[in-house]
Structure 1
């Protein structure tokens, strides 16, 4: 026998197990929030902005433009230099003394991300760390060290720190709202899945159509009458009257 479920049946199943689904939804959200608050380490970020450009002595506007475009193309090279040990090793030593940093240069590399806008000579160095002040110190140290190293390596003197990194009090991760929303959705999905599983495993006969489908005959129906105090009094009175009639007959 092939079973099919229409939209009305789906709605009825969800309505029938609404408490179960709602309960698991709330539990999922609370569980996600609990894990986020008590088991995930908050991380903070700090960003320093650096401008690198070469001085053009020629008065030719075209030459100045070409130099600017060359500087933009060189930003990818600057990114590689910043994430190289020639910059990160001195930074690691400085931060180890200043902020008790115990990681390696590779750890620093994983904490650093570099970005820039299209056709812009300014690029941003962003550092993530479990300590907001240490994140700012690392970012500023990276910019200062890069400024020193690039002069010797590529003969570039015009390196300007556009904006120093500052410590931010608000953590960037984990995202409590996002994690709670994910827990909410997962809880709802689990609740719906359990509700449908209960219905699939329930083999009781729910209507007479099912009997016809499996080749059985309907011999009749027995209605269930809920026993209430009123019905108890009614049937009690009927029973007592019957007994009186019986006694009088004797």
Structure 2
């Protein structure tokens, strides 16, 4: 018991720092959380991209590249001295001229002879797309590369273009009989022995990088468009309240009897005990030594009634005197949940048709009492906001250590806010995959407007996984993996 209280105290202390409701932007932790939540989508997107890149690599026609190289020199012997009197040096003249040769190499003057000599079935524009010509910086070199699906054709075209460019520069560009610039072929194209594309290693690397980016973006997009609450991190961010505990998905919770009494050695029962320990540190109602716990949720079906009944059983198990009240007069469920008689209950007491003793039933333990809701009244809000309701709670606090009130979800009625003003706060139950994040934010704002704080939150239907050792694990409020032996699950 001492160790449990110490653990609980530590949990409350760690979770008591209220986080801002304002989203400060995407962080690395948010990114990792999104990927972890939607890892299946991220992996699927990664696989699709990798498969597409792989298919392209396999199906693409192999291309072969052949390259030739020319070197530019100044032919002083054939130059017209009068035409170059303003040129300071031969080197600077060549540097000026050579910059235009890459463009010249793909013109009709150079390529028409190539098409004719090689009998190519293409026009100048089509041939030009196969040719890449460059002048490396600060050099007198012209590099010509040709890429086709035929090694022999790439070699032939690269050599033919080099020869044609050399002849064009020598005979057609200048006014003098011979060009002052001479292009000499210093490297003939050789026959390519392996394809230049597709580059399998490069494509695989691109596929991995692109797949990773697309996978991350897909996970983020899914997280941004997902309106349902799916993680403890989202719950803490939206509510700004400490986490009291998380209840993993379990068939045991849906049974009629509380799991604390029906399966006391289970992992789920231990989680309810951990929540019990955290709640034992909240302040008692002013003027009493008792604690009033108002349990509600944003939407129906988030598990607030299961939480209320199991918490009541957990406190009673610990020897406390407990009264559980079903104050959800619009959709009462505790009598059905516990399989007890619900014909007489709170609605009778508040309408002066029965006294408290007639409506309260003993359940499981001598000190665990339950007050069902009774029949649905037509004026639920009026009854719950009556002075008689408040007086009944104040009287109950004198007789019990814990009074637990199961109230209507916040999107249906504001009853929790009314009770919360008496208890100085409420306990909010949120179900993974059930609670809507926008509705949750509106509920938090609604409680803030009436100055009712959220004492703590309970994350219901949390995911649990099985480790290789056969043990079960889940992630706590700090994102840390918690593991329990299989026999305790």
Please give the TM-score of this superposition, normalised by the length of structure 2: 0.38
User: Whose helix fraction is larger, Structure 1's or Structure 2's?
Assistant: 1
The reply to whether residue 50 of structure 1 matches residue 63 of structure 2 is no
Return closer, same or farther for 1:65/1:174 CA change in 2, 3 Å cut-off.
Answer: farther
Give per-residue Cα distances to partners, 1:34-56, cap 9 Å, x unaligned.
12221x33322211111232333
How far apart are the structure 2 equivalents of 1:222 and 1:72?
74
Q: Which moved more, 1:113-122 or 1:101-110?
A: 113-122
The answer (yes or no) to whether the contact 1:26–1:184 under 8 Å persists in 2 is no
How far apart are the structure 2 equivalents of 1:13 and 1:143?
56
Give per-residue Cα distances to partners, 1:45-69, cap 9 Å, x unaligned.
2111112323335xxxxx9981232
Q: Which moved more, 1:148-157 or 1:104-113?
A: 148-157
The reply to whether residue 73 of structure 1 matches residue 304 of structure 2 is no
How far apart are the structure 1 equivalents of 2:30 and 2:101?
62
Return closer, same or farther for 1:54/1:188 CA change in 2, 3 Å cut-off.
Answer: closer
Give the secondary structure class of the aligned counterpart of 1:166. Answer: coil
Shift of residue 190, structure 1, vs aligned partner: 3.6
C-alpha root-mean-square deviation of aligned residues, in Å? 4.0
- The aligned runs of 1:177-196 (5 Å cut-off) are 177-196=201-220
The reply to whether residue 151 of structure 1 matches residue 175 of structure 2 is no
Give per-residue Cα distances to partners, 1:1-40, cap 9 Å, x unaligned.
x6636654443332233344234323321221112221x3
Return closer, same or farther for 1:163/1:19 CA change in 2, 3 Å cut-off.
Answer: same
Give the secondary structure class of the aligned counterpart of 2:184. Answer: strand
How far apart are the structure 2 equivalents of 1:109 and 1:141?
13
Return closer, same or farther for 1:21/1:162 CA change in 2, 3 Å cut-off.
Answer: same
Shift of residue 142, structure 1, vs aligned partner: 1.4
Give per-residue Cα distances to partners, 1:85-124, cap 9 Å, x unaligned.
122111012222xxxx321112122222222234433322
How far apart are the structure 2 equivalents of 1:95 and 1:25?
46
User: Whose strand fraction is larger, Structure 1's or Structure 2's?
Assistant: 2
Give the secondary structure class of the aligned counterpart of 1:27. Answer: helix
- The aligned runs of 1:2-81 (5 Å cut-off) are 4=23, 7-38=28-59, 40-56=60-76, 66-81=89-104
Return closer, same or farther for 1:195/1:147 CA change in 2, 3 Å cut-off.
Answer: closer
Q: Which runs of 5+ in 1 are unaligned?
A: 58-62, 232-250
Shift of residue 197, structure 1, vs aligned partner: 4.5
The reply to whether residue 83 of structure 1 matches residue 103 of structure 2 is no
Give per-residue Cα distances to partners, 1:97-154, cap 9 Å, x unaligned.
xxxx321112122222222234433322222222222111011111222333433324
Return closer, same or farther for 1:33/1:215 CA change in 2, 3 Å cut-off.
Answer: same
Q: Which runs of 5+ in 2 are unaligned?
A: 1-20, 78-84, 240-427, 429-442, 448-453, 465-485
The answer (yes or no) to whether the contact 1:48–1:161 under 8 Å persists in 2 is yes
Q: Which moved more, 1:109-118 or 1:195-204?
A: 195-204
Return closer, same or farther for 1:148/1:197 CA change in 2, 3 Å cut-off.
Answer: closer
How far apart are the structure 2 equivalents of 1:136 and 1:148?
19
Please give the TM-score of this superposition, normalised by the length of structure 1: 0.68
Give the structure, 1 or 2, with the largest relative contact order (CA under 8 Å, sep 6 or more): 1
Of 109, 133, 147, 2:128 maps to: 109
Return closer, same or farther for 1:102/1:11 CA change in 2, 3 Å cut-off.
Answer: same
Q: Name the structure 1 match of 2:444.
A: 213
Q: Which moved more, 1:120-129 or 1:173-182?
A: 173-182
Q: Which moved more, 1:115-124 or 1:25-34?
A: 115-124
Of 154, 158, 169, 1:135 maps to: 154
How far apart are the structure 1 equivalents of 2:28 and 2:139?
55
Return closer, same or farther for 1:89/1:20 CA change in 2, 3 Å cut-off.
Answer: same
Q: Name the structure 2 match of 1:164.
A: 188
How far apart are the structure 1 equivalents of 2:74 and 2:32?
68
Give the secondary structure class of the aligned counterpart of 1:53. Answer: strand
How far apart are the structure 2 equivalents of 1:36 and 1:223?
47
Q: Which is higher, the Rg of structure 1 or of structure 2?
A: 2
